[in-house]
């Protein structure tokens, strides 16, 4: 594996090349500017007493300074935690305290939450803010301007420690070993991006998701490692995404299935208005993609979709090309990092075709920060680790996901995976989004419930509910279909596309001692 891939290299060889631009404001940051700013931030960390292996936190929207902070932390050997901008004060304070941050960067736009954090996180030594200040904070811009733009003497590679979304309780930090590697050391994602996705210095990467999330954070940094240019959307809009592809001749992007669904539901004349022929590679993950959705995307964009299955934990990765997927619709591919195992509840490995918990061996080690119990629960007796998902492999080692284990419905002793019904219901032309889960049933324990976000709330009628149940029953075994449908104007999804299903499900289980 090669090294020598880092923005600091491109600052020397192509200083005026744009490292990234913000889609709406148009602000650009060249490799020279990124190098100087990240050096200043690294110097600031050292001046603040932050040593290699120490933790910092940032809670910043998709902002032109975001990657100056991340690259500065990376060069200083800091472990940096990007916090979701959607969190409440108490949720953010929990992460700041749990990760052990010694320095915090906020932004004036998020001042409502930021101003209350210093009183709730006493271990933080220094509070900094972008675009202005509130009480308890000093200006990040002024603090950086006071530092030299020279490299620090003791550069060493830091890395992110990101928190799970917390759909099943308090979020947990995913901690990988701090190896004190050179700042330009390679990584599995870098190698896959070069060799499989074809990324290089000519890549134009469109980033449609919040940067605090693992995939956008890491993919953008990978493109900058390779010397390409990122176009960062402040927020996702389906038509705006297509316009940006055309405007910037975008070659690569990383999306989630809900984004595909939203683009496919644009009127045909709107979709046809934009030239997307520059796209060479559209990577997607985060949730299983309904088979009809992916078929339509490949028909529209060509066989350029690359799907992977992995988590923030980085313990393994599967990958599938469009060509392979078309031969095995629904697969998320074969293992590229780590080795795949499907196990029963006792840790016994199951043969091809049998459904069980998905484990990886021989991948990157990780632990859940400050939670040895959760780390132990994710590890079986062989030392293999799991993200808690359920699936099977075929005879050729291709993985098929069936669901998150936590959301399996057990009705009358039958295991039902709600993903199947969700994939069917979301294809109804009048449906914008859907969540399927188990609700209490006195006779069977649980029954299948669908909560649907219609494209038009005027359709939220008993007649439409009956139509959706019939639609599902035409396509799936009746036991897998909802017994009832409720409607919501908007489902609780993170901007990353992750559905907070627990939030919906808990409403139906209130006042009960058991959830199964």
Q: Tell me the mean pLDDT in the region 393-408.
A: 85
- Between the alpha carbon of residue 59 and those of residues 21, 207, 433, the distances in Å are 20, 18, 28
**Short-list 290, 300, 292, CA closest to 270:** 300
Cβ within 8 Å of residue 327, ≥6 positions away: none
For residue 261, the number of C-alpha atoms closer than 13 Å in the C-beta half-sphere is 24
Distances (CA, A) of 367 to 193, 364, 379, 382: 25, 10, 10, 16
Nearest to 56 by CA among 43, 71, 45, 40: 45
The per-residue pLDDT of the chain, averaged, comes to 92
Whether the CB-CB separation of 41 and 146 falls below 8 Å is answered with: no
How confident is the model at residue 516, as a pLDDT? 39
pLDDT confidence of residue 289: 81
pLDDT of 91 strictly over 90: no
- Split at pLDDT 50, 70, 90, the class of 498 is confident
Reply yes or no on whether the pLDDT at 168 is more than 70: no
Q: Are 154 and 166 in contact (CB under 8 A)?
A: no
Q: Please state, for a pLDDT cut of 90, what percent of the chain lies above it.
A: 78
- What mean pLDDT do residues 484-495 have? 91
- φ/ψ (deg, to 5) at 298: -65, -40
Model pLDDT, residue 3: 54
The predicted pLDDT at position 166 comes to 47
* CA–CA distance, 263 with 270 (Å, rounded to integer): 10
Farthest-apart Cα atoms in the chain, separation: 70
* Strand partners for 255: 284
Q: With 0-12 CB in 10 A as exposed, 13-18 as middle and 19+ as buried, what is 214?
A: buried
User: Is residue 107 over pLDDT 70?
Assistant: yes
On the question of pLDDT at 1 being above 60, the answer is: no
CB within 8 A of 252, min separation 6: which ones? 197, 198, 199, 203, 204, 205, 206, 223, 228, 279, 280, 281, 282, 283
Residue 326 CA neighbour count, 13 Å, CB half = 12
């Amino acid at each position: 594996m090669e090294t020598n891939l880092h923005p600091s290299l491109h600052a020397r060889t192509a200083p005026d090349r744009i490292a990234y631009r913000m889609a709406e404001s148009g602000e650009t940051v060249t490799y020279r500017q990124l190098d100087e700013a990240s050096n200043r931030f690294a110097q600031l960390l050292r001046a603040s007493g932050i040593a290699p292996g120490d933790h910092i936190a940032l809670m910043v929207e998709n902002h032109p300074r975001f990657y100056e902070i991340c690259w500065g932390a990376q060069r200083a050997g800091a472990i940096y935690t990007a916090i979701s901008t959607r969190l409440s004060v108490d949720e953010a304070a929990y992460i700041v305290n749990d990760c052990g941050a010694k320095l915090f960067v906020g932004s004036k736009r998020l001042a409502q939450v930021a101003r209350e954090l210093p009183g709730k996180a006493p271990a933080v030594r220094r509070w900094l803010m972008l675009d202005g200040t509130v009480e308890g904070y000093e200006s990040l811009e002024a603090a950086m301007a006071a530092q030299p733009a020279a490299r620090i003497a003791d550069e060493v590679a830091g890395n992110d420690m990101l928190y799970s979304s917390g759909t099943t309780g308090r979020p947990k930090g995913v901690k990988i070993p701090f190896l004190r590697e050179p700042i330009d050391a390679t990584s599995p994602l870098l190698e896959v991006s070069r060799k499989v996705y074809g990324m290089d210095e000519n890549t134009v990467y469109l980033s449609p998701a919040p940067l605090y999330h693992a995939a956008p954070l890491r993919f953008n940094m990978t493109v900058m490692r390779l010397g390409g240019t990122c176009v960062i959307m402040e927020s996702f809009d389906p038509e705006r995404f297509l316009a940006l592809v055309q405007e910037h001749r975008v070659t690569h992007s990383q999306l989630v299935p809900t984004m595909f669904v939203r683009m496919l539901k644009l009127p045909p004349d709107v979709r046809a208005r934009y030239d997307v022929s520059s796209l060479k590679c559209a990577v997607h993950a985060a949730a299983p993609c309904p088979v009809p959705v992916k078929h339509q995307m490949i028909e529209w964009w060509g066989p350029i979709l690359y799907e992977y299955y992995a988590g923030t934990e980085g313990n393994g990765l599967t990958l599938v090309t469009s060509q392979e997927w078309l031969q095995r619709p629904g697969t998320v591919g074969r293992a590229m990092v780590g080795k795949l195992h499907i196990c029963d509840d006792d840790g016994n490995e199951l043969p091809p075709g049998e459904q069980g918990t998905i484990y990886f061996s021989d991948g990157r080690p990780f632990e859940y920060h400050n939670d040895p119990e959760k780390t132990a629960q994710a590890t079986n007796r062989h030392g293999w680790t799991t993200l808690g998902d359920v699936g099977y492999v075929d005879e050729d080692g291709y993985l098929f996901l069936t669901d998150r284990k936590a959301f399996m419905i057990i009705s009358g002793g039958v295991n039902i995976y709600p993903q199947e019904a969700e994939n069917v219901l979301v294809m109804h032309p009048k449906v914008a989004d859907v969540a399927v889960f188990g609700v209490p049933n006195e006779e069977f324990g649980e029954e299948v419930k669908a909560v649907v976000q219609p494209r038009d709330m005027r359709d939220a009628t008993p007649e439409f509910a009956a139509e959706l149940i019939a639609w599902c029953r035409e396509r799936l075994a009746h036991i897998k279909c909802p017994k009832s449908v409720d409607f919501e104007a908007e489902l609780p999804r993170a901007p990353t596309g992750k559905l907070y299903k627990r939030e919906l499900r808990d409403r139906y289980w209130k006042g009960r001692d058991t959830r199964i």
